[in-house]
Amino acid sequence: MEQLITIASYASFKTTLEKVISLIKKKKFTIFAQIDHAAEAAKEGLSLRPTMLILFGNPQIGTVLMQEQQSVGIDLPAKILIWEAATGKTWLSYNLMGSLKAKHQVGEEGNGILRKIEKIVSGICKEASGT
């Protein structure tokens, strides 16, 4: 089963990033962290094209999963990686949450929550990318 989805954006890195953040906030999710991999690389004198990881979620959703199986916390919150390829094209990558059912041995309720999270993340990526 494919565990990572990567889709092309029709917009620039900056515009795609702004759209992702806007959509997350519009859906009333909490942004827990924004990791600017390029900025961190630059601090060490290394070069990296724009690469930003957004960690976001809703504790009311994630907590229910962790109450069922705490190990799922290693894969939460949801993540979207926005990155610029050498060609200048912007891409969005996210994990398929459905693959976590077997990994963490969650039951049907937990699997339903994972599918819901995946649908939300997928929707944000598709809308932000213009696809």
**Domain range summary for the chain, segments of one domain joined by +:** 4-129
pTM, 2 dp = 0.93
Say which residue the tokens 């077997």 belong to.
Answer: 102
Domain 4-129 CATH (choose: 3.50.50.60, 3.30.310.70, 3.40.50.300, 3.40.1360.10): 3.30.310.70
Q: How far apart are CA 80 and CA 17, in angstroms?
A: 10
**Which is more confidently placed, 105 or 43?**
43
Q: Residue 123: is its pLDDT beyond 70? A: yes
The answer to whether 79 and 54 are in contact (CB under 8 A) is yes
Per-residue pLDDT tens for 13-59?
A: 999 999 999 999 999 999 999 999 999 999 999 999 999 999 999 99
Instruction: Give residue 27's pLDDT.
Output: 95
65: which DSSP letter? H
Burial class of residue 55 (count of CB atoms within 10 Å of its CB; 0-12, 13-18, 19+): middle
